[in-house]
Every structure is written in C-alpha cells, then in structure tokens.
Amino acid sequence: MNFHLIFFSVIIISLFLIVFWIYSERNLNGKFNKQINYFSFPLAILGLYCVFRLNLDFGYILVSLTLASLLFLAIGKMLKLSKLVKESKSFFFILGFITIFRSFLYEPFQIPSESMIPGLEVGDFVLVNKFQYGLKNPIGNRTLIANKNPINGDVIVFTPPHTSCSSELKDSYPEGSFKASTDRHFITWTNLSKDCSNLGLKYVKRVIASPGDSLEIKGKEIFVNQKKLSKENIKSNLTESFFLEKSNQKEYTIRSSNVRELEFFQTWVIPQGYYFVVGDNRDNSLDSRSWGLVPIDSITGKAQVIWLHWPSYGSLPSFTRNKIIK
C-alpha cells in the first residue's frame, strides 16, 4: 500500500474541506459545516496513521498544524467569520502548547528495531528528555542554551548522520578521529550512501565513547581509554549470551551472538562535538561501527522511561514494561 500517496491525498482533501467550510460558513450560513466536521474526524485519524506508518517527524507536523491554525485565525478575522476565529483560536492554543512541550521538554519515541534488546524491545514507547543536553531549536536541532553533555552509558535518540540532508558522509568521520591508519573506516561504510528521503528517521543507541576518549574495538571487546568494559555473564545458551556490562558506573544488559564472529579491529580518538554509539544487541545493530560518529547537534535527547508497549497496530497496548531506562 502506497502510504505516501494516501498521506498526500489526505492533505489535498483536508485543504479542500477547509476551503469549502469557509465558503459554506460565509455564503450558505454554515449549511454543510456539520457534515464536513463528521467527515474530517476519520480523515484526521487516517492522516495520523500515515504519519506513524511513514515514520514522519511528528514535530514538523505539529509545527505545520500550529502555523496553519494561526493562518486560518487571521483569515477568519479578515473575513469576519466569528466561528472560524473561535475554532482556529482553540486549535492554535492547544497545538501550540503540545508543540512547545514536545519541542523543548519531552518527546515520545517508538523503538523501531531489535538493536537495543534486551533492554528495549520493538514496540516500546519511550519518553525522550529533550532538555537534558540543553535547550535546542526544534527546527534544525541547534543548541540554543547548553546544559549537560551526554556521558558514556547514556541511551540517546538521534538522527543518524548518513540520513541527514544537511550533512555530508565525511562529517561522520571527521579529521583527527583515527589513530590507526586503515583502508576501511567502518564495517559496512562502502555499502552505505547518503539518503535523506526519510526525514523522520531516528535511531536509539548507547553512548560508549565521548569527546576526548580513546576507543579501541577488538572483535567483541571494547576498550575505552585503555580500559576494557567489564562484562559479567548472566545467561548463555548455544545461540546467544547475555552480559551485565558496566560503563561509567552504569550497569546494563547486552546481548551477544554465540554463532556469529565479529571480525572488527579499530582504534579511534573521539573529537570534540562527536559521540560513538552502539546497540545493546551488539551483533545485530547498525551503529557507529557502520556509519560513524554522531554530532552533538544530531542528538534529540536522552531516553529515560518506557511508558507504553505496543508491538503492532493489530494488538492492544500494555503497560507491563513500564520502567526507567538504565
């Protein structure tokens, strides 16, 4: 099913209904407004469903709707349509509040893949603290007021560098980030290309190295500032093992495959303004080992709490996995 076409059709139909509503209110004494309102509700639900299916950035949608309500408020005052002014004003304040809250305080995020299991599963909805690392411009994500910086062990949500329209691929491995000379910077770098078509795409990973850190990866072992990250085996079987890993006084569980060898050897010095991130599902994660370092301005915020689990739209949501993210 082509959800891009459906979403575009929803936008066109919505614009037509708004224009027709204004015409009906002004020239027909609101004769068809009730029918338009009835039709608008399922149309809005369909549009929202397309937003989730296409993984669009809901922040841009909210900003667009807020500006649209302000525009119709101005049109209502210009045409002296009191009902349009009343409706637009109520939408503007509600959408404006939601936009400010989501842009500067907390943002919901749905876990899209298995790269962070066992801690985070597909279908987990997490709250992302957006002011943890400073106040940021919601359009462009530039830091306006600095606060704390991410530290090793933090779970962060960010825009991956190879999908950012405003960056080049070379920005993911800035000059000076490597101590060892090699023909291959990252595991699958040659298989990746710049693709900014999916503007809503965000990843969630764990920071293991921060600016100024030296990082060395030898197969499945990670060394930060010449110290190996300690791992304690807590469960194993023929196919997989689970370890309790410690980083920067934080403890969390990681998964490792027992049937897949990881041939990866590299050394970095992390430059200022960049972070090295990996998934907790170490052998099934597309992360900094593949596409490079994460710039500070690409970070949305810190994932703090699982508040809902909804694995598919055909199942019922549950709150059984509610917990603070380690």
Which residues are identified as catalytic? 115, 205
Beta strands of the chain (E only): which ranges?
106-110, 124-129, 134-136, 143-146, 155-158, 203-209, 214-218, 221-224, 227-228, 231-236, 240-247, 250-257, 265-269, 274-278, 294-295, 299-309, 323-324
- Collect all residues with Cβ–Cβ distance below 8 Å to 74 and sequence separation of at least 6: none
Which residue, 264, 294, 262, 252, is CA-closest to 277? 294
- Contact present, 287 and 209 (Cβ < 8 Å): no
Q: Tally helices (H) and strands (E) across the chain.
A: 5, 17
DSSP string, 142-160: -EEEE-PPP-TT-EEEE--
In degrees and rounded to multiples of 5, residue 15 shows phi and psi of -60, -40
Distances (CA, A) of 37 to 6, 21, 33, 45, 296: 20, 9, 6, 13, 44
- Which residues face 253 on adjacent strands? 244
Distances (CA, A) of 307 to 110, 128, 280: 10, 11, 20
Q: Between 3-27 and 82-104, two packed helices, what is the crossing angle to 10 degrees? A: 150
Which residue, 93, 7, 17, is CA-closest to 58? 7
Q: What is the DSSP letter of 258?
A: S
Alpha-carbon distance 294 to 297, whole Å?
A: 8
